[in-house]
Each structure stands twice: as structure tokens, then as C-alpha cells.
Chains A and B, each alone.
Chain A
């Protein structure tokens, strides 16, 4: 499995560290309920198919990436800089 880093190009996945599901979002600490913290910390969709996930290019540029990958085939569908994803999410939020 090779991941095309947005900065460094295609590299073997052993250069990257895996964090997991990129769709879970830290709840607002000032208002979140215990149930929301529980879901954020522990509960995952774990889909068979397309999965958005966080990888860090630890043995390269050290950037965090949001990789969309098919968990049935390991095919990489798209790669975005996690920073860009976070910024566009912020912009979209009211």
C-alpha cells in the first residue's frame, strides 16, 4: 500500500503513522455531555468500504493527512492535507 503524500509524493505506508477515523470530532468542552465524549473517544463507524482516516507522514514531511481509502481493497481514493480539511470545516461552521 502506497500513500501519495500531498507534499512528498507517493511513499510506502511504512513511512506513515495511523491515527484512525478522521470523521470523529472533538466535542465542545464547554457544553458536551458525557455521552458525546464517550462517542468521540470510543465509538466508530468502522465501515467496510470508503473510510476517511488520519495518517501522519512521520518519516517524511511530518504533515498530517486525511486519506480516503477503501478498507476492502486498500485502494487510496484521495489524500488531502489535514490542515486544509480543518480550515474548510471551520469556514463551513456557522
Chain B
């Protein structure tokens, strides 16, 4: 019988197709790994309701575990508790930054209209002089920013709470 610890290690080799530096574990979407004899069940929770990468990650998890010789794999999508960017690991946040995506910052509640803009440091040059271009970016989980210092446009992995 395979150990859960081993499964978690294997899951560290399954990457988010849209943010390919993050594993499903870094992203915090793996809720649990349950083992019953030969049967392995992995519960994952979607980042966004319409995230098209979820189906792909589900298939990738099955494929990876099959590759490791585990054949009876079931991936279940659970909605509760709802995913939050707080579940992205510290290691994940560092990887995002190195990849050129600003990691999520603490943000005020979305119900505050025209709130003081938050400071999102530029992942390229580190400048804090950046501006929001659009709350909605290249994928559901990102906002679009630009650096006023080095002029580089960049993605910000927006806070979801």
C-alpha cells in the first residue's frame, strides 16, 4: 500500500497549465489525499468557478499517479471550503515572483468602491511605483498592472478571499 506522504510528493510534480511554475500543491487546490487499499482518492477545489485549467489538472493528476504505478486513482472536485489565495504556499509565492507574476497582496474588501489602491511591487525591478491597468487579466486569477519605473507590463495574481 502506498503512503499518503508519497502521493503528496508525486502531486508536487503536477503543474498548473496556466501558471506553469506552480504545482497543484503550491496553488493550494489539493484538499485531501485518501488511501483505501489500492484506491487513491484526491480531492481538489477549483480556484475559480469557470477555470478551464481544472479539468486539465484533474487529468494530469491521474496521469502522473498512473505513471508512478498507481492505477486506481479518483479525483473529486469539491466546492467547499471555497479556495482562497491565502492557500498559495510561501514557496509558491516566491516562484510566482521569480516567474514575473506579482503574488497576491493583502487587499481591502471588494465592496469598498474606489478604495485606496494597493501597492503591488513590480516583479521585474521591485519598484513600488506601479499602476492597475485592469482588474481582469489574461486568466480569471490575474489582474493586469504596469510598472511606472521600468515600464514593464505584468500580471498580478489577484487576491481572492
Q: Do A and B bind each other?
A: no
